[in-house]
Amino acid sequence: MLLLDAFTDEAVVLDEQGPLTFIQKNNGPARGLAHVHLEWDEALHDTVGNTQCVDGRSVSSGPDCPPVGRIRHLGSKFESINDPEGGLPVTANADIVGIAGGYGWLLDLDGGAPHTLQISKIEVMSDTILLLSIAYPTTTSFTIKAKAAYWCSESSTNSCEELFSEVPTVDEIRDSPGNIYHFDQTTGLLTIRVAMFPQAYTGEPDWQLYDFTDLGQDGKGYALESFERDGVLLPVAGYWQMIEILADCAQDGAYCTEAPPSITDYDDVCSPGFEQVSYDRCCRLDSDECEYAGAPASDLSSMPSSTPSHEPSSKPSQSPSAKPSDEPSLAPSLTPSDKPSSVPSMLPSQQPSLEPSFVPSSNPSHCPPSFASTSANSSS
């Protein structure tokens, strides 16, 4: 599923013929795409390809992938009062693709808060912040780890797991390399940053925020996989590493027994006096002052225009900027010298001054040259 629709931004363009949806990347400071795969209920996911989410199904076989939850962007612009559908559907085959760099993605499953959630096949650029939030009962505690592939070997220079630590604010998560979490005990909202890390290790030995220029272990290859051609780089997901959220709550199957609180104050992402206008931006409606997710308020005029102009910014001048001068702009640089610039050589040159030409220096003449007659030369 693609987490991108007409609610995402005021400048979204929908091409029904595609069908394609376009959003301007330069309308925000950290916009980008992200992909994750989610698993939380083994029995549910085992139905994929069997009783649901079946390729090549007939029209009479029922829904191919019925919704089991919803996911949406965080913020009042995306609350149910503005989007009655509550976001886009999450199915048993929960591959989520969408735009990131905003206030975050909010996951809401029909069965309740997931007891164990595994986040894998992560694809996101290191300079695009992907926050994932889930509401839990307020008494919940967590063990959150990043886990490398099963073949990882722990050593003094190689780590296979990274235990996340809790911090008091979401802003700290934005500025982090991705190994911390925040839990709001009033709203019950858990928030983590989802970042790519290598398949074979989680650190060397310390965790870091990797990008696509970091070399792999022993200087071989790169730490993160990617595909690049003609200056365009695409992240490539690893299939074995994951981030695992383990909730300490009373359990009913794959979910926490107790429901999260109904309070949704976490959707108040804007500062006082600002209103959310995009998934990553809040603005004052009476001015051009805006603020972006994780960034202070700024003048909107400093950002690129929402629609590029097809015309030049100013018309060409109909007349030259100044009249032509009747005098040369500069006097001759030097007066002629009375002496040659170099002393003549006393010895003949061993080679001609120029290579012989293979082409005649001018076209042959059609008329023979004229010479003075012999009689005239001897007339005296």
361 domain residue, yes or no? no
The confidence score (pLDDT) of residue 329 equals: 53
295 domain residue, yes or no? no
The confidence score (pLDDT) of residue 80 equals: 86
The alpha carbon torsion through 27, 108, 265, 105 (nearest 10 deg) reads -20
50 domain residue, yes or no? yes
Number of domain units in the chain = 1
Domain with 129 in it: 2-274
pTM above 0.85, yes or no: no
307 domain residue, yes or no? no
157 domain residue, yes or no? yes
109 domain residue, yes or no? yes
Residue by residue, pLDDT tens for the chain (380 residues) are: 555 544 555 566 666 766 666 666 656 567 899 999 999 999 999 999 888 888 766 555 556 789 999 999 999 999 988 888 889 999 999 999 999 999 999 999 999 999 999 999 999 999 999 999 999 999 999 999 999 999 999 999 999 999 999 999 999 999 899 999 999 999 999 999 999 999 999 999 999 999 999 999 888 899 999 999 998 899 999 999 999 999 999 999 999 999 999 888 999 999 999 999 999 999 998 888 999 997 766 544 445 444 444 444 444 555 555 555 566 555 555 555 555 555 554 555 555 555 555 555 555 555 554 444 443 344 33
346 domain residue, yes or no? no
Task: Please tell me the distance from the alpha carbon of residue 1 to that of residue 306, in angstroms, as a whole number.
Answer: 26
93 domain residue, yes or no? yes
Q: What is the Cα 130 distance to its own chain's centre?
A: 10
